[in-house]
Amino acid sequence: MGNYFVACDAGGTMTDVIIVDEEGQSVIGKAPTSPHDESVGYMESLEEALETMGIDPKLEGREFGRQMETAIYTGTSMLNTVINMNGYKTGLLTTKGFEDIIAQGRGSQTFIGAQWSEITHMQYRKHRTPLVPRAQSRGATERIDMFGTPVIPLYEHEVEQGIRELLVDEGCEALAIVFLHSFTNPAHEIRAREIAQQVMQEVGREVPLEISSEVAPTTREVSRANATVIQAYASSAARKQLFRIEEELNKIQYPHSLKTVLGYGGVTNSRYPRLFEAAMSGPVGGLQGAKYLSTVIGEDNIVCSDVGGTSFDAGAITAGVLPIDREPGFQDMYVNVPMLGIHSIGAGTGTYLRLDPLTNRLKLGPDSAGGTPGPTFMEAGNTTPTINDANLLLGVLNEDNYLGGKVHVNKQVSYDLFKEKIADPLGLDVYEAAETCMNLMNVLMREHLVRSLMVGHDLRDYVLLGYGGGGPLHLLGYAADDPWKAVISVPHAGAFSAWGGACMDYAYRRHKSVATMITPDLDPAMRVAYLQPLNAAWDALEEEVIAELKGEGFTPDQISIERIFYMKYLGLLDDVEVDSPVRRIDTIDDVEAVIRAYEDRYAQMFTLVAKPDGASYQVTEVAIIAKVDTTKPKLRRHDLAGKTPDPSAFKFKRPVYYGGKWADADIWEMEKLVPGNELSGLAVVEASNTTLFVPPQWHMRIDEHDIYWLERKGA
């Protein structure tokens, strides 16, 4: 055995584990996600992958464990803590008068992720149950203004009283301190933390304590408060899940700590103190894998589309830049924690299919059967048809090969329930109804891409990448007739997000708000002076992240630092992330280099752009990324075989219902197709972890990196 990388993506339905060897070869294991104890799904997936490699987990598992270089986890542990509301009872200390900041929230939080028809009707909006009820919030008199100047001193006796009440009277198990404008001057929060620690000693209770100036030192008070509260509420409970997985890995002699993935893309230790940054790590691996893939295929613009059992996640890499959302929505809350810009809707292979009782119209989801109970054909308790029931009825899914044949499938159950609950009420044939549902799902996914994610961008500049367990199954359905530059997938699509997790560096990212601008009337000296806040913020953040990485055992020569700023033309709503071309801004040449870098990036990202005459520039935020390179899997280059696949790759013909009629489709075994092979639709390419559907009007070829290029015939 050599060294192996093991990466996991625990989704809402399935847990995928991918094992990658030093030469880039990989195998995939799948198991239902186990929210109650995620180590169960993790180890079951790992054991399935080992069996695929011909390794007996019971006899040879320990030998394999000793050869594991890295084990990485992405998933839902912290998300589940928030969903189930079973985190620590958290108390909030905030600026007096703002005790309702969590309970009140922001109006726009009531329609995060909603469709336009729901946003425009108030009855669909809802306030989530606050993680900190009003009874668990206390105020202390203090005020720091927007420039960082203390204008009202901290009333320390109110801090002491508030903390004592939260600990003793309310029985809080964690504390969060959030003061206004603490991102400009954290002095009051730091002093309040000192007082809180003294009170904890006095009452004999030590609980987790978080301050917002360390969790999220950026503007937008509600989002900063949400982030700080979630860090206090959920991180310790989620960390227990990570430690359970690490314990199970240690039993097979894995010699290192478990790693997890941060929401902005980067690997860290499971003991990382700011664990909330990993709360939304699930879909991140897919974008990171696509970024690595882009360097292989030479394409800087890639739209990533991940079809899972529960959701459809999409993000766009533009000009080689991973999108960063500095205020993402998380469980109906906005949070000031950067993560990759991923737009999700409730649409997946497990999506429920129903008829609206009032209108008799077909309604898709947004809820899902998940891995348990799963589609109706699994006979695990679900009696509501799902998208995968439709796939099975249409002949696209193989009833004898679902999840590699390890799951029993009863096609008759799908037929009977679909007929009773969908087809008969609509007055349709069962198969016509199933295809209608499928087409509607594909339209929903297509609209999510074209009308939401890609508004303002030219599709002809972008490659559409489909992955996830259901990605290849639906890819050409939602690619439709839109003019994508190319449409691609990969044979390891079912675990692509897990594979992407192994493509990441050990990295930390820190943000800090600044407020300055450059106007045409400023002379060179004043232009330099106006950008000095960037230097101060960069230096402070760099010192912080280097200290943390040193604490992880890395030396300064292993750490690379990237400085980032966010700039916009004055008057625009949205700023743009730009890699700084200079380490510091000390001369007018440095200022001009920064402006040129912004204008170049802006022109790359938006079409028909022109520089305004006499432009003013506003800088809103800066960031530091500190990286330590890690060993990554490789996409190997293969010799190309002939266009005609080996006869052993052909399995048989199977009737598939497409375009309102039945036709015989060629059924291929994915594992036996090799680079250089080509095939045309109507075809189904089957693997144990995914299925690729090729409609009649499409053609597929496999390139030297084992990437599937899907092209319209005659294009």
Q: Report the C-alpha dihedral over residues 386, 391, 397, 402, rounded to 10 degrees.
A: 0
**Residue 293: burial class (beta carbons within 10 Å; 0-12, 13-18, 19+):** buried
Better-predicted residue by pLDDT, 489 or 11: 489
Provide CB contacts within 8 A for 708, sequence distance 6+. 472, 488, 489, 490, 491, 692, 700, 701, 702
Tens of pLDDT, residue by residue over 180-200, are 999 999 999 999 999 999 999
Which residue's structure tokens are 């203390």? 150
> What average pLDDT does the segment 133-142 reach?
96
Amino acid at 33: T
Which residue in 164, 92, 159 sits closest to 131, CA to CA? 92
Residue 488 has pLDDT above 70, yes or no: yes
Q: What is the pLDDT of residue 498?
A: 79
Q: What is the pLDDT of residue 133?
A: 93
> What average pLDDT does the segment 82-109 reach?
90
Residue 565 has pLDDT above 90, yes or no: yes
Q: How many CB atoms lie within 10 A of CB 496?
A: 30
Better-predicted residue by pLDDT, 338 or 439: 439
Phi, psi for residue 458 in degrees, rounded to 5: -95, 115
> In order of start, what are the domains of the chain with their CATH numbers?
4-80+238-278 (3.30.420.40), 89-207 (no CATH), 284-348+441-501 (3.30.420), 507-628 (3.30.1490), 647-712 (no CATH)
Q: What is the pLDDT of residue 59?
A: 79
Which residue in 541, 513, 531 sits closest to 593, CA to CA? 531
| Gap between the Cα atoms of 690 and 315, Å rounded | 21
User: What is the separation of C-alpha 543 from the centre of its chain, rounded to a whole number of angstroms?
Assistant: 28
| Gap between the Cα atoms of 667 and 665, Å rounded | 6
Helices 57-66 & 38-52, crossing angle to 10 degrees?
100
Q: What is the pLDDT of residue 611?
A: 67
Edge-to-edge strands of the sheet including 14-21? 26-32, 14-21, 4-10, 68-74, 259-261, 267-269, 506-518, 617-628, 559-569, 576-579
Residue 338 has pLDDT above 90, yes or no: no
Q: What is the pLDDT of residue 610?
A: 61
| Gap between the Cα atoms of 254 and 680, Å rounded | 45
Can you give the pTM of this predicted structure? Answer: 0.81
Tens of pLDDT, residue by residue over 43-85, are 988 998 898 888 888 878 888 888 888 888 887 667 767 877 8
Q: What is the pLDDT of residue 630?
A: 76
Q: What is the pLDDT of residue 428?
A: 93
| Gap between the Cα atoms of 369 and 142, Å rounded | 49
Phi, psi for residue 222 in degrees, rounded to 5: -65, -45
Segment among 42-51, 84-93, 311-320, 502-511 with least mean pLDDT: 502-511
Residue 283 has pLDDT above 80, yes or no: no
Which residue's structure tokens are 């109650």? 36
Whether the bond between 682 and the residue before it is cis, its omega within 30 degrees of 0, is yes
